[in-house]
Structure 1
Amino acid sequence: MALPWALAVLSLLPLLDAQSPACPNFSVPITNASLDQISGKWFYIASASRLPGYKEKASKIHASFYFFTPNHTEDTILFREYMTVGDQCLYNSSSLKVQRENGTLSTSENGTEHYGQLVLSKDPKIFMLASFPEDKQNMGLSFFADQPEATPEQMQQFYDYLTCMGMDKSEVMYTDEKKNLCLLLEKQHDEERKKEEERSKTGTALD
């Protein structure tokens, strides 16, 4: 299953340059510093979207978290996704493409490229992904934090961005960390990676 924000940006057309004066610039170029800022583990906290069909799909996501590993040279981000849907944990590992100049991240699914506009705030512990920020009928915004629960101040930044886009808090769908069913799988994967690293070190030593 694609990232939650990807569900909101199906068939995304090139973003327009016109922006509301009250809104941040959604086309800020992505730099190495930007990639370093979103490196690591992130929790999908909430999202709002007017794209038809998105709410039905997003409502099934109870909890979700990700691991991002940027590659500055290749302009890609390896991501590992743990998503609780219904009563099961779904795992996916894939790669995001980085379009530095227009500030977007994209991933391919079933032959279609899905885009999200990276939005960084002054708080390095959160970031957002916007879709169709100037399209009132299809716009969306997803919110991520480095902890499973965002602080009131962090949530307010999300709400402020929603407001400037012309959306309302009543449109927001939230996740619930208490429904996270992926902790055991995450632990299993961590143990497997540690064993693999140990085998690699041992093999290098023998060489």
Structure 2
Amino acid sequence: MALSWALAVLSLLPLLAAQSPECGNLTAKHITNATLDQLSGKWFYIGSALRNQEFNQSARTIQAAFFYFDINSTEDTILLREYLTIGSQCVYNTSFLSVHRENGSLSKHEFGKEQFGYLLLTKDPKTFMLAFSPKDEQNMGLSFYTDKPQATQEQMNGFHEAITCMGLQKSEIVYTDEKQDMCGPLEKQHKEEKEKQKENEGSSDDRALG
């Protein structure tokens, strides 16, 4: 859905090394605990260019999307909580991602196999990208995420630069529109339920101590 997974079989390290100097702002490297700390929290799906037809069609149904990464660095897993606006309705999904530190990728089991997305970081810690099938011209793709519902012009420039580095075209990008988001009320409900649960747990602890 919002992350639009596609199979990637080669590391981005040799791919980026072979590209022109303007690609130097992108880094593909091992994932560390610091990397995971940077990814933790709420993110907004801004847009993607996906040549895999199945994933491209899926991306075109998404009007707006945001999600949460809940990191477990001990087990190298991420709980993904997605809030997607599709057909002017809110769709909520949860799933687990596996962290592959050595080759800098995240994966999930989907369509009967493990699908990989390679993590691309820029100098801006408020954004990240996931690259898919970078050596497969028919199925390659790139998705872009920021910590705010709207990307700045500088952030968009970084995304467009990465699109060029991948060998994609800006005309292939499908964007979301945060103004069409319908998931705000559900997110608020989930936050209230979580706070209530914490309060109840606190009360139980107090009674146990008493």
Quote the residue 1:21 is aligned against.
19
- Amino acid corresponding to residue 4 of structure 2 in structure 1: W
Partner secondary structure for residue 53 of structure 1:
helix
- Distance in 2, matches of 1:129 and 1:199, equals 38
Deviates further, 167-176 or 23-32:
23-32
- Distance in 2, matches of 1:180 and 1:30, equals 31
> Are 1:51 and 1:139, in contact at CA under 8 Å, matched by a contact in 2?
yes
Quote the residue 2:144 is aligned against.
143
The ranges of structure 1 where at least 4 consecutive aligned residues each deviate by more than 6 angstroms after the TM superposition are: none
Deviates further, 171-180 or 52-61:
52-61
Deviates further, 17-26 or 81-90:
17-26
Quote the residue 1:60 is aligned against.
61
- Amino acid corresponding to residue 53 of structure 1 in structure 2: E
> Are 2:43 and 2:147, in contact at CA under 8 Å, matched by a contact in 1?
yes
Partner secondary structure for residue 189 of structure 2:
helix
The answer as to 2:180 corresponding to 1:201 is no
Deviates further, 108-117 or 90-99:
108-117
Quote the residue 1:121 is aligned against.
122
Deviates further, 193-202 or 15-24:
15-24
The answer as to 2:165 corresponding to 1:170 is no
Structure 1 runs not aligned, ≥5 long: none
- Distance in 1, matches of 2:199 and 2:207, equals 12
Q: CA deviation at 1:14?
A: 2.1
1:33-52 matched pairs, under 5 angstroms: 33-52=34-53
Partner secondary structure for residue 53 of structure 2:
coil
For this pair of structures, how many residues does the alignment match? 202
Q: CA deviation at 1:199?
A: 0.5
Q: CA deviation at 1:178?
A: 0.8
- Amino acid corresponding to residue 5 of structure 1 in structure 2: S
Report the TM-score when normalising by structure 2. 0.91
- Amino acid corresponding to residue 118 of structure 1 in structure 2: L
CA offset digits 1:58-92 (Å, max 9, x no partner):
11000000111111110011121100011211101
Q: CA deviation at 1:15?
A: 1.3
Q: CA deviation at 1:168?
A: 1.1
- Distance in 1, matches of 2:104 and 2:152, equals 26
Q: CA deviation at 1:13?
A: 4.7
Structure 2 runs not aligned, ≥5 long: none
The answer as to 2:180 corresponding to 1:182 is no
- Amino acid corresponding to residue 160 of structure 2 in structure 1: Y
- Distance in 2, matches of 1:108 and 1:204, equals 38
- Distance in 1, matches of 2:8 and 2:164, equals 23
> Are 2:8 and 2:118, in contact at CA under 8 Å, matched by a contact in 1?
no
Quote the residue 1:5 is aligned against.
4
- Distance in 1, matches of 2:9 and 2:53, equals 19
Q: CA deviation at 1:27?
A: 4.4
Report the TM-score when normalising by structure 1. 0.92
User: Identity rate of aligned residues, in percent?
Assistant: 51
- Distance in 2, matches of 1:158 and 1:204, equals 48
